[in-house]
Amino acid sequence: DHPDVGKMYANMGRVYGNMSSVLVSQGRYTEALDKLTAALEIHLKALGPDHPDVGRSYGNIGNLLGLQGKHAEALDKHTAALEIQLKALG
The residue count of the chain comes to 90
CA 21 to chain centre: 11
Beta-strand ranges (E) seen in 24-83 are none
Question: From the CB of residue 4, how many other CB atoms can be counted at a distance below 10 Å?
Answer: 11
| pLDDT the model gives residue 22 | 97
Could you tell me how many helices (H) and strands (E) the chain has, helices first? 4, 0
Q: What are the pLDDT digits (tens) for 54-68? A: 999 999 999 999 999
- Residue 1, pLDDT above cutoff 90: no
5 vs 56: CA distance, rounded Å = 21
Give me the mean pLDDT over the 30-41 stretch.
96
Per-residue pLDDT reduced to its tens digit, 43-54: 998 889 999 999
